[in-house]
Amino acid sequence: MSSRIYLAIDTIDLDHAKALATRVKTHIGGLKLGLEFFCANGHHGVHEMAKIGLPLFLDLKLHDIPNTVAKAVQALRPLEPAVLTVHASGGRAMLEDAKAAASDHTKVVAVTVLTSLDTDDLSAIGINGDPEAQVSRLGALAHEAGLDGIVCSGHEVKAAHKAWRDGFFVVPGVRPAGANVADQKRIVTPAQAVSDGASILVIGRPISKAEDPLEAVRAIEATL
């Protein structure tokens, strides 16, 4: 199979994004275009990145009333993303409408608990229990709503995969051993995430901020 590594393109600089993606494209499986990139470059930027020839993961984390999210997903259809994110906490009707509005060629996956949040953060927004319990609850909701999978940290993917054998599991917040964790709180190594059931790994700064991005992605690949 192609590489499970999706490079996170979280920059407003389109030229830099294209240069970085082109440099490592033979060693990654796709490109994750985040909110920062999309707000700066819009549909034009996505079309430009598509020319590199890799699957695109449009990580917009849509979250609104069902009708609004459905219309937003329809507006994104011409971009033909391979993967598109919505927030699981938007509720079942929103998830169902998002999936119904998407192209058959797009996997719609639900974001469960951001990797920047821990138990204290969840408590502060009124959610009792640890991230694992919340991921389990929202993962079940996404499954029932007919989505393709979920986004969760490597800490929860093993249990999520056990509960949803044919689900598609996106694991962000992945850091090679010894790497700077930055603003992530629930991280695992790439090898551990794959072993536990990750379908794709979203990796950004350990590659994009490396002195030699190609060498960095090769080193990560070697651990897999």
Alpha-helix runs per DSSP H in the chain: 14-24, 35-50, 66-76, 92-101, 119-124, 131-144, 157-163, 190-195, 205-208, 213-223
The strand pairing partners of 6, in sequence order, are 30, 202
- Asked if 156 and 116 count as a contact pair (C-beta separation under 8 A), the reply is no
Best CA proximity match to 193, nearest among 168, 157, 219, 221 = 157
The strand pairing partners of 110, in sequence order, are 86, 150
Q: Is 61 a catalytic residue?
A: yes
**Dihedral of the CA atoms 143, 145, 146, 148 (nearest 10)?**
-60
Q: Which residues of 60-69 are buried (b: 16+ CB within 10 A; e: fewer)?
A: bbbbeebeeb
Q: Which of 25, 61, 71, 162 is catalytic?
A: 61
The strand pairing partners of 5, in sequence order, are 201
201, containing H or E segment:
strand 200-203
Catalytic residues: 61
